[in-house]
Amino acid sequence: MYITRYVVLSDVWHKGSSSHFPLKHGHFALLVLASMMITASGNIINDYFDQKVDRINKPNRVIIGKSVSRRGAILLHQLLNVAAMVMVGWVCFLYNFWLPIIIPLVIITMLWWYSPVIKKKAVAGNVLVALCTALVPVFAGIYDIELESNELKKVLFNTMNLHHYAWFWVGALAGFAFVLTMIREAVKDAQDIPGDQAANYHTLPIVWGIKRTRRYVYIWMAIFALMVMLCMMHVQQTIDYALFIVLLLFPLCMAALRLKTAQQPTDFGLVSFWIKVLMLGGLLLLLLML
């Protein structure tokens, strides 16, 4: 969220007449904290419903039912969500701008239904998590962009005004986040087959098998590579191609190579590792574009 605002949107603001964001830094920090709390509550409720699965897939990392009681987990889940909504509601009230409150409400609702219902279905659970991830940069930018929309629309850059230009880049970040999450969730499902089968989940690797799931992941990897190529063409004058290759394409290739021979959960764990390196590389790339 900070990279979205202080790297991507900051570049947009430098092209315009305004030198500061309409949303104060402290209020933006509240939104970041609220997002972290919603993410934490989503993980809690996921662990709550996945106790049986986690005892098989990651027995050493089970918390609910051991360190934390089931009742305590539900209470903490609710407290985090309420506190997050209060923070977001307070920022909306201060600026008299209520549209953004829809985003955390949607994410909280989707994460609640994800664990007991949607996660058990092939593809649907992956899409839901990817959508939640894609909404994060949108949530980071919506206040500043829309509160300053009238001024941004007055300034033209290339073939579009700065309002559209800002949403173009926020949308690009959301697109990258969506595709990367679709890749990682499919790999994670393959890694979690033993526990998911025991719980009668119908995830993609269980329904399709490893071979077809591998092809499915390769399609998403190809989409990501194409997006990187398009991005390289768009920013060719501001950043070295070598950074794209080292930070994005290299870990993508390593993940693809590991995926080719992956069969066991530990094999898919290595694929997942390179996907995480790829995510980190994307963030580093944005920081280097400062």
Per DSSP, the residues of 67-95 read TB-HHHHHHHHHHHHHHHHHHHHHHHHHH
Question: Residue 57, Cβ neighbours under 10 Å: how many?
Answer: 20
Residue from 70, 3, 85 nearest 37 by CA: 85
Question: Residue 156, Cβ neighbours under 10 Å: how many?
Answer: 12
Contacts with 154 (C-beta within 8 Å, 6 or more apart), sequence order: 17, 161
Strand partners, 260: none
Q: What is the mean pLDDT of residues 134-163?
A: 93
Q: How confident is the model at residue 64 (pLDDT cuts 50, 70, 90)?
A: confident
Residue 57 is predicted with a pLDDT of 80
Contact 140, 1 (CB under 8 A): yes
Contact 178, 130 (CB under 8 A): yes
Ranges 26-30, 33-37, 150-154, 180-184: which has the least confidence: 150-154
Quick one: CA dihedral 71, 76, 82, 85, positive or negative? Answer: negative
Residue 290 is predicted with a pLDDT of 59
Question: Average pLDDT, whole number, for the chain?
Answer: 91
Residue 152 is predicted with a pLDDT of 92
Residue from 141, 232, 132 nearest 184 by CA: 132
Q: How confident is the model at residue 61 (pLDDT cuts 50, 70, 90)?
A: confident
**pLDDT exceeds 90 at position 72:** yes
Local structure of residue 24 (DSSP, 8 states): -
Q: How confident is the model at residue 17 (pLDDT cuts 50, 70, 90)?
A: low
Residue with tokens 């980071």: 140
Residue 59 is predicted with a pLDDT of 79
**Cα separation, 92 vs 70, whole angstroms:** 33
Q: Quick one: which H or E segment has residue 176? A: helix 162-191
**pLDDT exceeds 80 at position 164:** yes
Residue 238 is predicted with a pLDDT of 55
Structure confidence by residue, pLDDT tens digits, 225-257 = 999 988 877 765 556 778 888 999 999 999 999
**Cα separation, 252 vs 254, whole angstroms:** 5
Residue 53 is predicted with a pLDDT of 83
Per the model's pLDDT, the better-predicted residue between 50 and 75 turns out to be: 75
Per the model's pLDDT, the better-predicted residue between 157 and 259 turns out to be: 259
**pLDDT exceeds 80 at position 80:** yes
Q: pLDDT above 70 covers what percent of the chain?
A: 97
Residue 240 is predicted with a pLDDT of 72
Contact 63, 45 (CB under 8 A): no
Contact 102, 45 (CB under 8 A): no
pTM of the model: 0.92
Hey, what's the torsion of the CAs at 201, 205, 208, 212, to 10 degrees? 170
